[in-house]
Structure 1
Amino acid sequence: MAAVFSFSWPVKTVVLSADAPRRSLPSMNRVLRDELRALWTEPRAPDAPVRVWRDWLLLAAGLLATALEGVFRAEVTWRPFSVLVTVGLCLTTLWRRTRPLEMVLLAFGGGIVLALIDLAAGHARPIGLYAGSVILVLVYALTRWGSGRDIVLGSAVVLALFALSTVLERGPVSDVVGGLSVLTFPGALGAMVRLRSTSRRRELETMRARERESLARELHDTVAHHVSSIVVRAQAGRVLAGADPTSAVQSLAGVEEEGARTLEAMRAMVTALREDGAGVDLAPLPAVADLRRLAGERGSGPPVDLHVEGTVETLPAPIASAVFRIVQESVTNATRHATGATVIRVDVAAGESRVRVDVRDDGKPASGGPDVAAVAGEDLGRRAGRGGYGLRGLRERAALLGGTLRAGPRAGGGWLVEAELPRDGVPQRRDGQEREGQQRDGQNRNGGQTGHGREY
């Protein structure tokens, strides 16, 4: 029977058979070379937090263990020097995310130097303390936050120290296997967390692309409506120019007004770019007036108490459509996930410059739902689940229009979604605005940490 060997890589799986022609070997080498090149050029993981409170807790625990071991442990080689070295190893954990390769080279490269000193001096016990094992978190940080180049070079140094220690100690095979397992586990865990974070980030990018696609469709419909009106008014003005100049001037004024509205709508959604050139069917955009139909057509779930204040009929199409979508998504979420809710209150207030939307319920949180998902430690709140990014998409839409959207538990019970949009719908994108919104929405139901606070 032919022997078969399988090599699994992150992107491809190559299967070799003992009966395969020798011409397959160059192809395998080419595939392996391409995969290694891809690993080498892999960029660093984005959004690595500099320091969080757990870093100081880890440092304090390491220093405390170092002090206790330095005082109470017997037979420590070069005790003052070993304590000093271990303190330095504990300090390297503070820069493990921002400088993963440098910290690995410093800690494990220094371990190689100490091993050679032990060999030259003939020490019965190696220099250092057991508390120095804190550097295992550096291996995790290397694969979690480092670039492909960092991972390759850092892993080489880590394995070099392990190989040197194995040769010098000459322990049984079981100790070698156990030590290798302990050393590789943090690296494997870091790679797994990184892969999951990358997958979730790609899902978010897909969600944002779909939301921008929806905005682009609405832009298409809005512009088509206004341009059609402009053409009709322009034709009427040309016909009336000779017989009734006054009516012709009125038609030109209408053309000017429609053109201004078209530019306003395009300015509000100019950042929504389509990725394909497929045509779309024209359809009327949902508006604030459709909210009454939305509230009245509900066949099940708690009733919707709708309150609309201000002049909403003159809202620009992008803003009116965004208000409708926010209310629609929020009401759907409350119906699905607010256990025991008796009413869903919707307040829409249109002022002179801002439009405010509040959707709240008085229910209790369900165990989970498809609407809100955790990504790289972020959590929009109680409705966490696998499938949906509804609130994230709405927040993206609000940001594109220059507004904000927040979702979270109410102090007196229930859930609240509140949004504020500029009445003119002109984008006001500022650096850091989206990240601030993510950190605000990243607080959990118990007032927990923001998204960055959960990154290790």
Structure 2
Amino acid sequence: MDLRGRFSTATARAASRLGREPDTKRRWAARARVLLYVGVTCLLVWELYISEVDNLPTGLTVVQVAAIVILYGLGRWPVVAAALSIPLVMAELLIGVHPFSLTIVTSVVTTGVLIAVRPRPIGYVYVATVITILTTVQPTDLPLADVASWLVVFFVPCLLGEGVRFLSSSVDRIQRTSAAQLTRQRRDLARELHDTSIHDITSIIMALERAKLTGIQDPKVLEEIDHAIAIGRQSVVSMRGVLKILRAEDGSDRRSGTENVPAAIAAAAPTLQRALDDARASLERAGHSLQVHVEDHVDLPLPFSVRTALVRVIQECTANMAKYARPGAPCTVMIERTDVETRALFLNDAREGAEADSALSSGVGLIGVRERVEAVGGSLVVRHHDGRWIIQASIPTISSASEGQVERAAQH
């Protein structure tokens, strides 16, 4: 049993390498149907050629052509095709079997498909029925030899069908196991984020609100406190949106979670203009001025994945400007959009000898931004030249139809 389990796992992993997308099996089934249609067409042409060359009886030609035509429906309705093929086998036996019987070929192919994609008993009942017809309609002097011969003939499609069934079930088992592990990891991560980050941010907001009640008179200090409270509240809202995304695959939300994930992601990320306004306000509080150069048509609807990636790039890069830019130096953001991509350029004078606070700088911010950009097919370039930090992001704007529908719905 252990050897079988290891073989099943190894086979499933090997098959999974053919495609890791959720619809991999459906795509391979579609390709198999196309291959079946091509093969059936070749058989049909071959049958018409043989009928003409060998001058076959009209009845036999009609039976064999009908058997081949049945194979066109085998990809989608294998049980119906199998039921229709049985009387054709009997008809050919009564008319006279051709040395190269395409009706038998139809039965062999049907057997493999039935066992592979339908409940196993259906395939074996079909095999037993066909062999019974082949050995009883026109019996010979050696009935046991005939049965053994036909069993050998049908053993090959049975074996191939069992192999495909075993491979498919192994892949399904691996996918179910992986999905269960991923669900547990997402649930654990959501719980930790809720119990740590959201609680801590909420505590900070409450501390700032208590500080306001102490009677602070300095307008600048009050402005900074109000800004910190607003940012904290927005962070809590965004974090709760992330928690909904993480729990979208949980059992309690399994029916509607997957459809709502794109909308939840789009809703959690601010708009492009909001991200630029927040960046300008944040840099002004840090003593910097932000120069923004944005093309007029950049605000046209963007795919949610592109908009989310672009907004996160703006947030991370402008946060780096506040930490690493030379005091009082202007910072520049330029965004342009073409028919195929959106480009963002960030420029600022670097502060000499600046050392970031280890508590505020993890060192992985730009790594995360690069991963996010590359996940949507873009690229991120970071370089230090002539005392300036230059970050350039390029994100393709060609998206799927579903992303466009989600984005339009979110905007309306």
Relative to total residues, which structure has the larger helix share, 1 or 2? 2
TM-score when normalising by structure 1: 0.45
TM-score w.r.t. the length of structure 2 is: 0.49
